[in-house]
């Protein structure tokens, strides 16, 4: 039996009917199979993610130009380090005269190696740069994933039809479209919604209730219109913000650490300098 024939036979056994006539019917049959517990919910979600990725273009998932964290080629390494630590990223586009001139990619570990092993003033950015990969906004996401796998690149700079930089896309952005959010260093335990990260800085789950937020931080946000802190932040933006965007409300800075096309998931909150949250008492 051919590979295609084997797949068709497996699909017929799974969904218990004839071959689907189109993608909508395929998804409906897969969901029916999920309801019959022939496949679990996570597997069903990933299959649907794979099907959706085939319809997406890079412009649909990229980090827009305005939210890119970049390093300047001529910037001293001592000034780059705070940017790297603050962002928590492992790879950074390096620019020349402006953001349209991406001259390469710097890996955080290469810069940290300089501080750990050398630090003797002989830093040469040009020797540390890795080649940048450029892809058009219109490239299909599933094609990009194949290219990432073959080339072993993890990041690509997205350009528009005129050659200008319009954004950035990583292999994690692609995979998250299939499997959902990938856990990272910002994750907090399921049974907590607020975690202290440093002086005046906190990771806050977007579903944290405004009432609980107010109690922890001694804030006075109204919960008459919204129940969660994520709803309050989204209202302030007037739209669904993307990762890296920030807004200040009554002295609190809210930066989006994680979001998808439907909701905000995780926020970084920086308290006003003069405020010591009552929830930190005894910490």
User: What pLDDT is recorded for position 221?
Assistant: 93
User: What pLDDT is recorded for position 272?
Assistant: 87
Confidence of residue 155 (pLDDT cuts 50, 70, 90): very high
188 lies in some domain = no
Residues 122 and 225 in one domain: no
Residues 78 and 111 in one domain: yes
Q: State the Cα–Cα distance between residues 120 and 208, nearest whole angstrom.
A: 47
Domain closes at, from 147, 179, 211: 179
Residues 111 and 67 in one domain: yes
User: What pLDDT is recorded for position 225?
Assistant: 87
161 lies in some domain = yes
What does the pLDDT average to over 182-189?
Answer: 51
Kindly report the CATH number assigned to the domain that includes residue 123. Answer: 3.10.580.10
40 lies in some domain = yes
- Greater pLDDT, 70 or 26: 70
DSSP string, 205-269: ETT-BHHHHHHHHT-----SS-SBHHHHHHHHHTS-PPTT-EEEETTEEEEEEEE-SS-EEEEEE
141 lies in some domain = yes
Count of the separate structural domains present in the chain: 3
209 lies in some domain = yes
Confidence of residue 121 (pLDDT cuts 50, 70, 90): low
Residues 9 and 112 in one domain: no
The answer to whether residue 75 scores a pLDDT higher than 80 is yes
DSSP string, 134-184: EEETTSBHHHHHHHHHHH---EEEEE-TTS-EEEEEEHHHHHHHHH-PPP-
Mean pLDDT (the chain, rounded): 80
Least confident span in 92-96, 112-116, 188-192: 188-192
The answer to whether residue 106 scores a pLDDT higher than 60 is yes
The answer to whether residue 249 scores a pLDDT higher than 90 is yes
Percent of the chain at pLDDT exceeding 70 = 80
Residues 133 and 28 in one domain: no
185 lies in some domain = no
Most confidently predicted of 61-70, 79-88, 93-102, 172-181:
93-102
User: What pLDDT is recorded for position 5?
Assistant: 53
Domain containing residue 134: 60-179
What does the pLDDT average to over 182-210?
Answer: 74
Q: Full-prediction pTM beyond 0.75?
A: no
What does the pLDDT average to over 86-99?
Answer: 85
What does the pLDDT average to over 241-267?
Answer: 84
Confidence of residue 159 (pLDDT cuts 50, 70, 90): very high
The answer to whether residue 172 scores a pLDDT higher than 80 is yes
The answer to whether residue 97 scores a pLDDT higher than 60 is yes
User: What pLDDT is recorded for position 36?
Assistant: 72
Residues 174 and 202 in one domain: no
pLDDT digits (tens, 9 = 90+) for 4-59: 555 555 555 555 556 767 667 777 777 777 777 777 777 777 777 777 777 788 98
Residues 211 and 170 in one domain: no
244 lies in some domain = yes
Among 218, 251, 247, which Cα is nearest to 234's? 247
Percent of the chain at pLDDT exceeding 90 = 25
186 lies in some domain = no
Do residues 225 and 235 make contact, with C-beta atoms less than 8 angstroms apart?
Answer: yes
The answer to whether residue 137 scores a pLDDT higher than 90 is yes
């Amino acid at each position: 039996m051919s590979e295609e024939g084997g797949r068709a036979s497996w699909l017929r056994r799974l969904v218990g009917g004839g071959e689907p006539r189109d993608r909508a019917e395929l998804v409906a049959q897969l969901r029916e199979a999920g309801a019959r517990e022939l496949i679990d919910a996570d597997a069903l979600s990933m299959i649907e993610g794979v099907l959706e990725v085939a319809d997406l273009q890079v412009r649909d998932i990229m980090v827009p130009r305005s939210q890119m964290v970049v390093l300047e080629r001529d910037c001293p390494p001592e000034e780059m380090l705070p940017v790297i630590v603050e962002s928590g990223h492992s790879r950074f586009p390096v620019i020349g005269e402006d953001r349209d001139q991406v001259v390469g990619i710097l890996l955080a570990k290469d810069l940290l190696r300089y501080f750990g092993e050398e630090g003797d003033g002989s830093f040469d950015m040009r020797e540390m740069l890795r080649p940048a990969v450029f892809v058009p906004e219109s490239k299909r996401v599933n094609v990009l994933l194949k290219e990432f796998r073959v080339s072993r690149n993890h990041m690509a700079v997205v350009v528009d039809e005129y050659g200008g930089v319009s954004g950035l896309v990583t292999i994690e952005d692609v995979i998250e479209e299939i499997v959902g959010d990938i856990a990272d260093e910002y994750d907090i335990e399921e049974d907590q919604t607020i975690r202290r990260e440093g002086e005046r800085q906190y990771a806050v789950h977007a579903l944290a209730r405004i009432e609980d937020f107010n109690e922890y931080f001694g804030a006075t946000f109204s919960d008459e219109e919204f129940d969660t802190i994520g709803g309050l932040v989204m209202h302030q933006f007037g739209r669904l913000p993307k990762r890296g965007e920030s807004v200040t409300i009554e002295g609190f800075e809210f930066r989006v650490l994680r979001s998808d096309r439907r909701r905000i998931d995780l926020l970084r909150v920086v308290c006003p300098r003069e405020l010591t949250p009552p929830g930190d008492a005894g910490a």
